[in-house]
Amino acid sequence: MKIICEYCKNSIDTSKDNKCPNCLASYSDNKMFKEGLEELKKQKDQEYRARELDIEKQKIQNEQVKSILETTKKIFGFQKYIIFIPILFFLLIFFEIIFSIFNSHKDYPKRFTTTTMPNITTTTEKKVAVGLNEFGETSKYKVKIDKTLNIDKIYGVISPSEGKKYKAFHLIVENKTESTLILNAKINCIVDDFVQKESNYHSKYPPLPFKIDSLLKAEGYVIFEVPINAKKYDIKYGDYITIHIDD
C-alpha cells in the first residue's frame, strides 16, 4: 500500500518500509494507512462471501444434477420392465399352449378358440350381385337399376371423348332404416375390369339426392363415359352391391 507521511508528506510504501524513510516517523496511526487497512479487510470479506455464495450455488447445482440423474435412472429402470411385459406375455401364451397340448387333447382346441378368436362377423355386410331390375340389399338400404340410356351430348353440346359414349343408369334407392340415410356410397362403373369416368350430370337426368328420410325411396341418374363398343357394365354401389347390366 502506498501512503503519504502525515509529518513530511513523503511517500511511504508499506510493503517495503516499516517507518517513513524520510523523517523516520511511525505510520501506525496514519489515517490513510488505517483507511487502507479497513478497505483491504472489506475486500477480503467480500471475496470470502462471494466464494461462499459460489460454493452454495455449486451445491444447489449438484443437487439438481443428482435429482435429474435419479429421475432418468428411474425412467430407464421402468422402461427395462416395459420390455419384459411382451416377453412375459409371449411366455405365458407359449406355456398355455404347451400346457394345453400336454394336459388334454380334447380341451386344447376349445380353450384356444374361446380365448383368442373374437367374434367379428356380426356387423359385416354380405356382398351382393344382382341384375337389371333386381334389388341389391344391405342392412341399411335397397338399390336397383331399372333402366339405362345412351346420351349423345351432355347439355346438348358436350361430346364424349374419342372412342367413348355416354351411358346413363337410372337408380332407385330405398332407405330401410328408421333414420335419415345419407347417400354417400361411391358409385363405380366397371367395363372390362376398368373403372369408367363419371360425367357431369345432365339437367334432363338429375342425380340421386344427398339423403333419404326414414323408410322412403329416391331416384336419380348416374352418367359414365364408357368405351363406344361396351356391352357389359358392372355398377358397384358402395362396398357391397354390384349390379350387372347387359346392353
**Residue 7 touches Zn ion, criterion: CB under 5 A:** yes
Which of the ranges 22-30, 124-132, 199-207, 215-223 carries the binding residues for Zn ion, by CB under 5 A?
22-30
Nearer to Zn ion, 10 or 14 (CB): 10
Angle at 123 between CA 122 and CA 124, to 5 degrees: 105
CB of 19 to Zn ion, least distance (A): 8
Rounded CA gap, 213 and 185, in Å?
16
Nearer to Zn ion, 5 or 181 (CB): 5
Which of the ranges 21-29, 38-46, 159-167, 191-199 carries the binding residues for Zn ion, by CB under 5 A?
21-29
Question: Position 93: which residue type?
Answer: I
Rounded CA gap, 222 and 199, in Å?
8
**Residue 22 touches Zn ion, criterion: CB under 5 A:** yes
**Residue 201 touches Zn ion, criterion: CB under 5 A:** no
Single out the residue of 149, 169, 153, 163 nearest to residue 226, CA to CA.
163
Angle at 243 between CA 219 and CA 135, to 5 degrees: 55
The length of the chain is 247
**Residue 10 touches Zn ion, criterion: CB under 5 A:** yes
Which of the ranges 7-15, 46-54, 119-127, 147-155 carries the binding residues for Zn ion, by CB under 5 A?
7-15
Cell of 21: 524513510
* Contact footprint for Zn ion (CB under 5 A): 5, 7-8, 10, 20, 22-23, 25
